[in-house]
Structure 1
Amino acid sequence: MGSYRIPLDAPNIGELEKEYVLRALESSYVSAAGPLVAEFEERFAAYVGAKYAVATASGTAALHLALRLLGIGPGDEVIVPALTFIATVNPVVYVGATPVVVDVDPQTWNIDPAEVEKAITSRTRAIIPVHLYGNPADMGRLMDIACRHGLFVIEDAAEALGATYKGQHVGTFGDIGIFSFNGNKVITTGGGGMLVTNDSILAKRARLLVNQGRALGSFEYEHVEIGYNYRLTNIQAALGLAQLERLNGFLAKKRNFAAVYRKMLGEVSGISWQEELPGAESSWWLFAIQVDPGKFRLDRDTLAAKLQKAGIQVRPLFLPLPRQPAYESLQFKPCPVAELLHARGLCLPSATFLTKEDILNVCQVLLDR
């Protein structure tokens, strides 16, 4: 949390987590072999409404596995949104495929289905929609596009555990969904992720690949294909089980905080935020605003400096993929909506251990001009 009196986000760890971790320690199962991993997978699958869940070392690992499972590789194109954390696109490059970056919708800030449709070529194999900051993407239109063009859909729900679209949990619409349990996510295992699917064959192969490709149930160290050390540990699963029990409380807090922000900032000229689609319910992992300097009279950077000086941690939106130095050689096409959102966007404190008074304090500092 550093020196900030009101941090952006951080783990909410309590006595329940200590009890579960101690249980793991006392069992002597501390590494990847242990009963709590399977228990965590089962409970997680039940929560989101998927048939199968496979725990992984990170959300990035889960996304990499998803691409491997679907046979995506050299010569294939995968469509991704311009406004996302770089981990969405890195695994596409890991498997040798070509990322195709498209612009986002100005209201939801998520991948724009119209831009997806325009970007499809004979080489397109998959779409990776991201539920940015917990806000569900337009899965109805995206699944329709994928169905008409015969494309795979891998949902990047790393930031969106608990978010729903028309009553269904995000991450369960496509062929595969992935989640992250990094320290700042809705729930944490200190690091780690989850891959979910309704396909038993994909799930079985995922369990093979996370364990170095070792044959399941084999007495010998027999490895039937090249896999990865992508397993979650028993201690991490213990932490995840405790966090999963507290998830509904975490989501209620984040949604309450978002309601406070919207009420306090709703009449302020020049301030706007992500809009939820009809039938969508965001997890509000982070509440982010867009600052129009012409109307608000302060630009994003000036406002950020003011909040930070007051001990309030804020962060810009993700740098759009066309601006990432690591991908300069790919020469992604310009994405003006993503660029404008980044130039004006600021993430505000949303940690679940904060209080309503903390959120009101952020609003007061923000509005004190």
Structure 2
Amino acid sequence: MSNSPDAGIEFPAWPQHDDAERTALLRALDQGQWWRVGGSEVDEFEREFAEYHGAGHALAVTNGTHALELALQVLDVGPGAEVIVPAFTFISSSQAVQRLGAVAVPVDVDPDTYCLDVAAAEAAVTSRTSAIMPVHMAGQFADMDRLDKLSTSTGVPVLQDAAHAHGAHWRGKRVGELGSIATFSFQNGKLMTAGEGGAVLFEDEAQWEKAFVLHSCGRPKGDRGYFHLTSGSNFRMNEFSAAVLRAQLGRLDSQIATRQARWPVLSALLAGIDGVVPQTVDPRSDRNPSYMAMFRMPGVTEERRNAVVDELVRRGIPAFMAFRAVYRTQAFWETGAPDLTTEELAARCPVSEEITRDCVWLHHRVLLGTEEQLHRLAAVVADVVAGA
């Protein structure tokens, strides 16, 4: 590969923090109660996060994977159930299902948006299907109009995996206004972060109450007599994480505005590179927070894609190989896999097979940089792709 141009681009750091986080941490420290039962930070964060996303209720939890597990439990997913998941996604989507003893059923994704293919999901629905779990990939909504119709016609609830979609809008509606449970992650790379953490949005108060009991060792809110009602687990968020997340939420709008202005610029630059095709944004996804800047190199081998990523990283670009199709991992087959072989699933998911091989993503902090930095970034990508 060519050694020029070299990147040398000082993209903004991630995570970002300032005195807002310092003040919040001291506020949590000085209140003298560091867990949610006695403190106020988690309660306040839940209220603020629910209001921001247009939901009736939010429940803060330990991480995004636990958020998925908890939401699935609220939907009574367990042994004997099936849950439809995208084949192309981070493996938490399938593992959350499998850890509950249910079967994860991977289906293919759209070649342009990389989100769940609704027709493929419809074809996979059986009498055992208990949930359909779209992932809003990189902040781009799955087709919620068609998913809502599919849910209505089959009676199967939709569970939105919105780990990439903090602050996103679909046709002007916020995540919490779309009539289905939604989960979020606050892992270190996410659009707002406390290192780890997660949340579940509910419109239905009874579902929220059920989730609260499950996430607090089966213990109802306000219980002092250890009257554990069910076999839950401990998914409670601590006060320090909630305090940091309240500060992170306060700057989310300005960051989304910057990324939303920058992605069309970078997307156009990437589209101008021979052999590069950026992720398409469905215009109905009218506020896309751009969790990742994703692009494909159709037709390349996985080895060539990996070489491109390695060279971009060597030149200082925060580049990553795309997720591997979930059935292409050893972990997927440990438990709760469908009664199909890897190759049978691959034949059903040709787009996911291609994206596994040819997709690259860039950390969203590049979209917090300047337009001049994006032009320099695109020049590096063009050089690396041409030399690969």
Decide which of 282, 289, 295 is 1:283's aligned counterpart.
289
| 3-state SS in 2 of match to 1:101 | strand
- Partner residue of 2:24 out of 20, 24, 47: 20
Superposed CA offset, 1:182-217 (max 9, x none) = 111000122111100111100011111111111321
Q: Is the 1:8–1:350 Cα contact (8 Å) retained in structure 2?
A: no
How many equivalent residue pairs? 363
**Aligned pair 1:365/2:380, yes or no?**
yes
Checking the alignment, whether the CA contact within 8 Å between 2:87 and 2:325 is kept in structure 1 is yes
Structure 1 equivalent of residue 134 of structure 2: 129
Q: Report the equivalent of 1:200.
A: 205
> Which one of the candidate residues 227, 242, 252 is aligned to 1:237?
242
TM-score norm. by structure 2 comes to 0.89
Instruction: Point out where structure 1 has 5 or more consecutive residues left out of the alignment.
Output: none
Could you tell me which residue of structure 1 aligns to residue 182 of structure 2?
177
Greater Cα shift, 233-242 or 298-307:
298-307
Counterpart CA distance in 1 for 2:252 and 2:96 is: 28
Q: Is the 8 A contact 1:293 1:300 kept in 2?
A: no
Q: Which residue of 1 aligns with 2:4?
A: none
Question: For the Cα contact (< 8 Å) 1:9–1:350, is it kept in 2?
Answer: no
Deviation at 1:316, TM superposition (A): 0.9
Matched, 1:349 2:354: no
Alignment of 1:52-67 (within 5 A): 52-67=57-72
Correspondence for 1:325: 330
**Scaled by the length of structure 1, what TM-score is found?**
0.93
Query: Residues of 2 paired with 1:116 and 1:271: CA distance?
Result: 28
Answer whether contact 2:259 2:368 (CA < 8 A) is retained: no
CA distance in 2, matches of 1:230, 1:122: 31
- Give the structure 2 partner of residue 74 of structure 1: 79
**Change over 3 Å in CA distance of 1:7–1:121 after alignment to 2:** farther
Q: Does the aligned pair in 2 maintain the 1:261–1:359 contact within 8 Å?
A: yes
Q: 1:143 matched to which residue of 2?
A: 148
Per-residue Cα deviation, 1:113-145 (whole angstroms, up to 9, x for no partner): 010111111111110000011110001001101
2:355 partner amino acid: L
Q: Which shows bigger deviation, 237-246 or 306-315?
A: 306-315
* 1:113 and 2:80 aligned: no
Of the candidates 29, 32, 35, which is equivalent to residue 31 of structure 1? 35
Distance 2:54 2:90 in 1: 26
Q: What one-letter code is carried by the residue in structure 2 that aligns with 1:364?
A: A
Deviation, 1:278, is: 2.9
- Matched residue, 2:298: 292
Q: 2:363 is matched by which residue type in structure 1?
A: P
- Indicate how the Cα distance of structure 1 residues 147 and 6 shifts in structure 2: closer, same or farther if over 3 A, else same: farther
Q: CA deviation at 1:30?
A: 2.1
Query: Which amino acid counterpart does residue 376 of structure 2 have in structure 1?
Result: N
What percentage of residue pairs aligned between the two structures are identical? 35
- Cα offset, 1:13, TM superposition: 1.4
Q: CA deviation at 1:352?
A: 6.8
Equivalent residues of 1:287, 1:347 under 8 A apart: yes
Residue 336 (structure 1) aligned with residue 341 (structure 2): no
Displacement of 1:256 after TM fit?
A: 2.8
- Give yes or no for contact 1:187–1:240 (8 Å, CA) kept in 2: yes
Question: Which whole-Å CA distance do the structure 2 matches of 1:81 and 1:171 have between them?
Answer: 21
Rounded to whole Å, the distance in 2 between the matches of 1:204 and 1:278 is 36
SS of aligned partner of 2:365: coil
Separation of aligned partners in 2, 1:366 and 1:268: 8
Tell whether the 8 Å contact from 2:212 to 2:220 is kept in structure 1 after alignment.
no
Distance 2:178 2:366 in 1: 27
